[in-house]
Amino acid sequence: MNKSIKFVYDTSLLNYHFHNNHPFNQLRVLLTKELLEDSGQLSQEQIISPRIATDEEIALVHDPIYIHTVKSAETLNREHLLSYGIGTEDTPVFSNMHEAAAKIVGATLSAVDAVLQNNADHAVNFAGGLHHGFKNRASGFCIYNDAAIAIKYIREKYNLKVLYIDTDAHHGDGVQEAFYSDPNVCTFSIHETGRYLFPGTGNTNERGIKEGHGYSFNLPIDAFTQDESFIDIYETALREIADYFKPDIIITQNGADAHFYDPLTHLCGSMKIYEKIPKVALEISKKYCNNKWIALGGGGYDIWRVVPRAWAQVWNVMKDEQPMKGSLPTTWLNKWESKATSPLPVTWHDKLEEIPTIPRKKEIEEKNKYALENLLKYTKVKRS
Amino acid sequence: MHVEEIMNRNVITLQPNDTISKAHQVLVENKIRHIPIVDDDFFVVGIVSDRDVRDALPSKLSNEKTTNILDREIATIMSSPVLTAHPLDFVEEVARIFYDQEIACLPVISNEKLVGVITEKDLLYTLIQLTGTHVQGSHIEVKVPHKPGILPEVASVFGKRKVNISSVLVYPYRNDPQYKILVFRAQTMNPLPIIRDLREAGYELMWPNNIPEPRV
């Protein structure tokens, strides 16, 4: 088993930084990288530096005028910026915004090139996965939609069928919209129902339009959903969708905000879901894609207790086909302990006593099952 | 909101002496359910719904020849006189008429001429806009005592956090007239500061913010 896997990283990816009180904090990426290094899981040969995306590449998804607006954000007036979703509380202006955002896109494209040009089996860019970026508008902490750009890039350059899998607790609306009428790109997003949570979309009945009808899948799950229900319906849905679509390559968006510690969402998963998600992705990549799998980051707002472990497990599964177990390396804990805003976890899994007890658990499970049935209503029929 | 803001101005019409067959074709081709029937001056003399046309057709399961029936004039099956709306009527008045009369379309008349139609579907779209669910946002429900000044008080929390509100709805709280539910749709992915401010100010939040955060 001599697999080639690549980890895209350099410190320029940390420049995507709104301000110190903003919940989106790319220190997560460094924490993940060091956790892997200190666990002996990541070597220097596996790390590749990101390139920067060209304007033409960004324009695969975004309007040139929007790109121009991002480039000139520091000089344009507030009203103008707001019409492009820039300068809001969610996506405030910061200096060299374009360069930082274009670097993240470039990093995702570097991951794509590693797999499709240089024959790596899998590649990760945890700085990417900014799935709320739209053609003409920044939103939800996202400026350029690196995932959508990478998919367009793969379509144009390699003509492969792409399955995009989004496990962020928020609906992957920007990516869905970019491929809503495209039958060669299948998008699947599992997320907390949009009834309460941003952005509000992602209902099962959003299935795509025109030729793309039947290639957008949405699995909205109830607030306070826990491990068993999440894993059960997620696995069933993904296996069925993959078998229906038969992708050539998968791109996973690994937002790590469905955890009970995450401050921005109401989902209640534990580390168990972050052990299972990459295992199912691996299975799909082997079965249909001759291993081709690119993993991205995404949301994740408990940057100390949740995100580093969740993302590191994606890499661990790529490398060893199994998530890590037992204690976290003390070197990592000692290094970050004093900087962390909450006590760091000491094991890869969550302690049982920390997992909250949720009222209405049965009701939540039943509603999620119902969403799953709705989601898969047409896949079996279409093939028979 | 006025009817003229949401009505459809490109109205497909027929004349009373057109055939039922023509009406059937127009309904199918344009995927519409109502056709206002007008005279040469665009004065509305009747309306035909897809149900009127279907009622006139023989069952598709029978072998009966349909030609004579389909050649008859629309005037023989249209409803008349017609309930109509004015461009400056309120959308809520139209909703009331639809509900009370159990109909789903009103021709809109100005100076005795047809200028548009408003349908059930236009009203539903307006409802979607009123709820603010057509734009990205987070949804927050607050239970408040039904008293003067409460709305600006709660809304100021959003203002202080510089978060745009895309819609506000005021619902009754079950059958208790002492309380109301305020529903805010806020244009942010990070409603946490607002939720904490509301809690600290003593407001009662509804699901899913009414059970304590496991993470604090």
- Backbone φ and ψ for A249, nearest 5 degrees, come out as -155, 150
Do B106 and B138 belong to one domain?
Answer: no
Q: Do B162 and A89 touch (CB under 8 A)?
A: yes
A266 is catalytic: no
Compare all CA atoms of chain A with the CA of B159 and give the residue at the minimum distance. A89
Question: What value of ipTM does the predicted structure carry?
Answer: 0.87
Q: Worst-scoring range by mean pLDDT, A64-78, A191-205, B198-212?
A: B198-212
User: Does B190 reach chain A within 8 Å, measured CB to CB?
Assistant: yes
Cα(A129)–Cα(A132) distance, integer angstroms: 9
For residue B188, the chain A residues in CB contact (below 8 A) are 88-90, 198
Q: Which domain covers residue A214, as residue numbers?
A: 5-15+22-53+99-383
Calculate mean pLDDT across residues B31-35.
97
How many angstroms away from the CA of B64 is the closest CA of chain A?
35
Q: Is B214 within a domain?
A: no
Amino acid A359: pLDDT: 82
Amino acid B215: pLDDT: 45
Residue finishing a domain among B111, B127, B143: B127
In this prediction, residue B61 has a pLDDT band, given cuts at 50, 70 and 90, of confident
Amino acid A356: pLDDT: 87
Q: Is B215 within a domain?
A: no
Cα(B78)–Cα(B76) distance, integer angstroms: 6
Amino acid A83: pLDDT: 96
Helix (H, G, I), strand (E, B) or coil at B152: helix
In this prediction, residue B203 has a pLDDT band, given cuts at 50, 70 and 90, of very high
Compare all CA atoms of chain A with the CA of B163 and give the residue at the minimum distance. A89
- Backbone φ and ψ for B115, nearest 5 degrees, come out as -120, -10
To 10 degrees, what angle do helices B91-101 and B120-131 make? 130
Calculate mean pLDDT across residues A282-301.
98
Q: Which of A200, A224, A264 sits opposite B136 (nearest CB)?
A: A200
Do B162 and B102 belong to one domain?
Answer: no
Amino acid A45: pLDDT: 97
- Checking if the pLDDT of B67 tops 70, the result is no
Higher pLDDT, A3 or A5: A5
Q: Do A140 and B215 touch (CB under 8 A)?
A: no
Amino acid A324: pLDDT: 98
Give which of B131, B135, B136 to mutate to test A binding, by max A Cβ within 10 Å: B136
Helices and strands, number each (H, E), in chain B? 8, 8
Q: Which domain covers residue B18, as residue numbers?
A: 3-127
- DSSP-assigned letter for residue A46: G
Residue A95 Cα distances to A74, A190, A294, A299, B161, angstroms: 7, 34, 29, 22, 23
Q: Is A94 within a domain?
A: no
Q: Is B212 within a domain?
A: no
In this prediction, residue B40 has a pLDDT band, given cuts at 50, 70 and 90, of very high
User: Does B139 reach chain A within 8 Å, measured CB to CB?
Assistant: yes
Closest CA to A201 of A226, A174, A181: A174
Q: Which of B136, B185, B192 sits opposite A139 (nearest CB)?
A: B136
Amino acid B66: pLDDT: 63
Q: Is A235 within a domain?
A: yes
A108 within 8 A of A133, measured Cβ to Cβ: no
For residue B209, the chain A residues in CB contact (below 8 A) are 196
How many angstroms away from the CA of B193 is the closest CA of chain A?
10
Residue finishing a domain among B74, B105, B127: B127
Cα(A126)–Cα(A255) distance, integer angstroms: 9
- DSSP-assigned letter for residue A51: P
CATH number at residue B46: 3.10.580.10
- Checking if the pLDDT of A204 tops 80, the result is yes
Do B103 and B22 belong to one domain?
Answer: yes
DSSP one-letter string for B8-71 = B-S---B-TTSBHHHHHHHHHHHT-SEEEEE-TT--EEEEEEHHHHHHHSPPTTS----HHHHT
A132, A170, A191, A259: which is the annotated catalytic residue?
A: A132
How many angstroms away from the CA of B163 is the closest CA of chain A?
7
Cα(A8)–Cα(B109) distance, integer angstroms: 65
DSSP one-letter string for A19-38 = -TT-S--THHHHHHHHHHHH
A8 within 8 A of A114, measured Cβ to Cβ: yes
Q: Do B192 and A264 touch (CB under 8 A)?
A: yes
Do B117 and B138 belong to one domain?
Answer: no
Instruction: Provide the domain count of chain A.
Output: 1
Cα(A66)–Cα(A59) distance, integer angstroms: 9
Q: Could you say which residues from 56 to 95 on chain B have a Cβ atom under 8 Å away from some Cβ of chain A? A: none
Amino acid A360: pLDDT: 87
Cα(A272)–Cα(B47) distance, integer angstroms: 61
Amino acid B107: pLDDT: 98
A103-114 tens-digit pLDDT: 999 999 999 999
Calculate mean pLDDT across residues B36-50.
97
- Checking if the pLDDT of B138 tops 90, the result is yes
Do B189 and B150 belong to one domain?
Answer: yes
Calculate mean pLDDT across residues B53-76.
84
Do B20 and B104 belong to one domain?
Answer: yes
Do B41 and B86 belong to one domain?
Answer: yes
Calculate mean pLDDT across residues B196-213.
87
Q: Do B213 and A132 touch (CB under 8 A)?
A: no
DSSP one-letter string for A201-267 = ---TT----GGGTT-EEEEEE-TT--HHHHHHHHHHHHHHHHHHH--SEEEEE-----BTT-SS---
Cα(A44)–Cα(A48) distance, integer angstroms: 8
Q: Worst-scoring range by mean pLDDT, A30-44, A291-305, A366-380?
A: A366-380
CATH number at residue A168: 3.40.800.20
Do B109 and B177 belong to one domain?
Answer: no
A116-160 tens-digit pLDDT: 999 999 999 999 999 999 999 999 999 999 999 999 999 999 999
For residue B138, the chain A residues in CB contact (below 8 A) are 196-198, 200
Amino acid B121: pLDDT: 95
A154-179 tens-digit pLDDT: 999 999 999 999 999 999 999 999 99
B171-183 tens-digit pLDDT: 999 989 999 999 9
Q: Which of A89, A199, A302 sits opposite B137 (nearest CB)?
A: A199
For residue A88, the chain B residues in CB contact (below 8 A) are 164, 187-188
Instruction: Provide the domain count of chain B.
Output: 2
A313-350 tens-digit pLDDT: 999 999 999 999 999 999 999 999 999 999 999 999 99
Do B57 and B163 belong to one domain?
Answer: no
For residue B213, the chain A residues in CB contact (below 8 A) are 263
- Checking if the pLDDT of A267 tops 50, the result is yes
Both tokens of B196, joined, read 């904490």
Amino acid A60: pLDDT: 98
User: Does B208 reach chain A within 8 Å, measured CB to CB?
Assistant: yes
Cα(A95)–Cα(A102) distance, integer angstroms: 13
Residue finishing a domain among B78, B102, B127: B127
Q: Is B81 within a domain?
A: yes
Cα(A104)–Cα(A15) distance, integer angstroms: 9
Q: Which of A198, A260, A262 sits opposite B137 (nearest CB)?
A: A198
Q: Do B215 and A261 touch (CB under 8 A)?
A: yes
Calculate mean pLDDT across residues A204-227.
97
Amino acid identity for residue A230 in this structure: F
- DSSP-assigned letter for residue B162: T
Do B100 and B146 belong to one domain?
Answer: no
For residue A260, the chain B residues in CB contact (below 8 A) are 214-215
- Checking if the pLDDT of B216 tops 50, the result is no
What's the whole-number average pLDDT of chain A? 96
Q: Is A202 within a domain?
A: yes
Q: Which residues pair with A47 in a beta bridge?
A: A7
Helix (H, G, I), strand (E, B) or coil at B95: helix
Q: Is B142 within a domain?
A: yes
